[in-house]
Structure 1
């Protein structure tokens, strides 16, 4: 019941290069995804490359998306694998959340959503990829949800009502909503019911994992105060300060404000540091220290309150790894419940 999907497949990682160079790299990337068996491919060519405006005309975005779809089709053709389905769009939020605090968002205009599909259909046909367009299952739109470092814009279904009604004209398609992280369970259910049937979540899951690891970090510090030279939080702070590339352009303000954001931002840029050798070693040390330890319920209540009830009723074992996984599962359950509407 799991599909592998490629997200934001396009020139975004190389947008500092001229368009031809960036698109050549994007073609190599999507070829690799298609050959590896990824069957849900999000074509994201909405960003300008070197010397181009930040936002591109719909026709340019669609032509580049069709070019990538044609490459993916060639990569899969004749291999006997599952043909991919595609997600298109011209109003695609940037990966990882907004760069600044937001008060409100413009919902995609209904006519813009219809035009997006029209120009993509034409571009796919011109690129000889009409078969690929028949497998376009969704279009990315903005239903009015987003998150920044410190705030979340909640879904307001009344503002998105006109956009939702356009699905009646887009036969066989649903809308894909990005940046649905941190929406309430009720909001997620409303999004699905209103036609935003593909809900994207990423930082919301890694944020939950970081919360659990930091809770376990504090538990270990209390139970074994002399066992480690540095806590996990101290290690990650040092690593992020030594190598700021993954957070520096996202976090602003005073030194103290940036320190807060490094660890507790909704954008959760810390997620890029967990594979770092020093951070990974610190996590391994923490989990080894707590391996086999039955963590007292009172400490779970204090430092991992979100899992306390499930520990009490026997759903989650009072041990480090089950508690870390349970934190992520709790977020996923809200999405699973929403998609059963």
Structure 2
């Protein structure tokens, strides 16, 4: 429901009401279930977003269209007793992203169709992201071109939406093209002037296209606050570096910033981001990373208790699938074969998340869960390989069940976000 997001922005105008909301960007059912349970415990609204390459009218890499994703999320929420009016569905990077290899004359109609499918399915938070170049574009795209395409996307959503009107996010986490070359050793914060121009150009073009009535529902802008992660390191938020950018919000009290790539930040970093106006915190890979850690730990326990050939061979199965189907990691993981293997398993960017839906991976997970449920798992093995879950089991907080332990691990990654976003 977009109402909660509008109330969030309104509440930040009040002195001391430094509220925020985290956005769970994942389509894995266990991540979604963990998120629902955490939000229910905290009595907070829950924002769940699908990305354009993950879910679209052609199925994306999950095979789901927006209406399918909505059913999946709502069914899990109903099973967990989570109030439907506290659930917010969003779409992330909605634009030509999945079709960048096509010329713009082909890519944009597909992007518009996707936007209509999200809006018609009842998604009420939509990220208008036309910043990526298509096959026949000249890079970098101008602010005007990006805003023109964003206005087209917005108009398509407005025409297709039924019921509650969507709210919109503009911009992208990448600073304006043509700026300094970035690396994790010196990540550039979006310049205040660049953010101001993005905002001004979008507003001007929205009004030109007759979308002036929609503009008040543009609640947020994606900027780079100076946070990022790569395969094995994290750049933490430093408030002083973002001070100039943050001052822009004083001139636009109806606006908040949306921060992408906040995965793996320290807990204090989340609190500082929310305080400074980055009121929407996106998290995705950190949650499937936590899930993978838990599953690999369970497989280690399985090896102590189950003889071959009954073992799941989960890690080996995923490795085989990823080597056979390299499209989702080959452009990202470099180095010699040993280095690539390590990254496939342990990288913070967690390209493994693209492979859990493969039939072989699902079968291996099912075997792992079945083996552990049929075997008396000694507490000492849980203590050795899953100490946090061991403490939770001993305290009676969770059942000694393998799935409950996986969900607990995912929620452990979510709790710092929840703490930072709770009203103070």
Q: Which TM-score bucket, shorter chain as reference? A: over 0.9
Instruction: Report the equivalent of 1:120.
Output: 202
- In the alignment, structure 1 residue 278 sits paired with structure 2 residue 363: no
Q: Is the 8 A contact 1:164 1:194 kept in 2?
A: yes
Decide which of 124, 140, 160 is 1:75's aligned counterpart: 160
Cα displacement string for residues 287-325 of structure 1 (whole angstroms, at most 9, x for unaligned residues): 111226553222122212332322222212221010011
Instruction: Report the equivalent of 1:42.
Output: 127
- In the alignment, structure 1 residue 336 sits paired with structure 2 residue 421: no
Instruction: Report the equivalent of 1:204.
Output: 286
CA–CA separation in structure 2 for the residues paired with 1:134 and 1:3? 19
Identify if the C-alpha distance between structure 1 residues 293 and 166 changes in structure 2 by more than 3 Å, giving closer, same or farther: farther
Instruction: Report the equivalent of 1:288.
Output: 370
Q: Residue 113 of structure 1: CA displacement?
A: 1.3
CA–CA separation in structure 2 for the residues paired with 1:110 and 1:9? 24
Identify if the C-alpha distance between structure 1 residues 66 and 261 changes in structure 2 by more than 3 Å, giving closer, same or farther: same
Q: Which runs of 5+ in 2 are unaligned?
A: 1-85, 176-181
CA–CA separation in structure 2 for the residues paired with 1:250 and 1:300? 34
Identify if the C-alpha distance between structure 1 residues 288 and 129 changes in structure 2 by more than 3 Å, giving closer, same or farther: same
Decide which of 292, 304, 314 is 1:232's aligned counterpart: 314
Of stretches 52-61 and 42-51 in structure 1, the one that deviates more from structure 2 is 52-61
- In the alignment, structure 1 residue 146 sits paired with structure 2 residue 228: yes
Of stretches 109-118 and 292-301 in structure 1, the one that deviates more from structure 2 is 292-301
CA–CA separation in structure 2 for the residues paired with 1:307 and 1:6? 33
Of stretches 123-132 and 159-168 in structure 1, the one that deviates more from structure 2 is 123-132
CA–CA separation in structure 1 for the residues paired with 2:89 and 2:133? 27
Q: Residue 128 of structure 1: CA displacement?
A: 1.8
Identify if the C-alpha distance between structure 1 residues 54 and 150 changes in structure 2 by more than 3 Å, giving closer, same or farther: farther
Q: Is the 8 A contact 1:101 1:149 kept in 2?
A: no
Instruction: Report the equivalent of 1:26.
Output: 111
Q: Residue 71 of structure 1: CA displacement?
A: 0.3
Instruction: Report the equivalent of 2:48.
Output: none
Q: Residue 129 of structure 1: CA displacement?
A: 1.7
- In the alignment, structure 1 residue 184 sits paired with structure 2 residue 266: yes
CA–CA separation in structure 1 for the residues paired with 2:387 and 2:297? 9
Cα displacement string for residues 81-114 of structure 1 (whole angstroms, at most 9, x for unaligned residues): 1110000015448xxxxxx972121001112111
CA–CA separation in structure 2 for the residues paired with 1:54 and 1:246? 24
CA–CA separation in structure 2 for the residues paired with 1:118 and 1:293? 62
Decide which of 245, 248, 251 is 1:163's aligned counterpart: 245
SS at match of 1:188: helix
TM (normalized to structure 2)?
A: 0.76
Q: Residue 159 of structure 1: CA displacement?
A: 0.4
What is the aligned residue count?
A: 332
SS at match of 2:127: strand
- In the alignment, structure 1 residue 254 sits paired with structure 2 residue 336: yes
Q: Which runs of 5+ in 1 are unaligned?
A: 94-99
SS at match of 2:271: helix
SS at match of 2:126: strand
> Relative contact order (alpha carbons < 8 A, sep ≥ 6): 1 or 2 greater?
2
Identify if the C-alpha distance between structure 1 residues 235 and 90 changes in structure 2 by more than 3 Å, giving closer, same or farther: closer
Identify if the C-alpha distance between structure 1 residues 301 and 162 changes in structure 2 by more than 3 Å, giving closer, same or farther: same
Identify if the C-alpha distance between structure 1 residues 55 and 305 changes in structure 2 by more than 3 Å, giving closer, same or farther: farther
TM (normalized to structure 1)?
A: 0.94
Q: Residue 230 of structure 1: CA displacement?
A: 5.1
- In the alignment, structure 1 residue 102 sits paired with structure 2 residue 102: no
CA–CA separation in structure 2 for the residues paired with 1:294 and 1:66? 59
Instruction: Report the equivalent of 2:218.
Output: 136
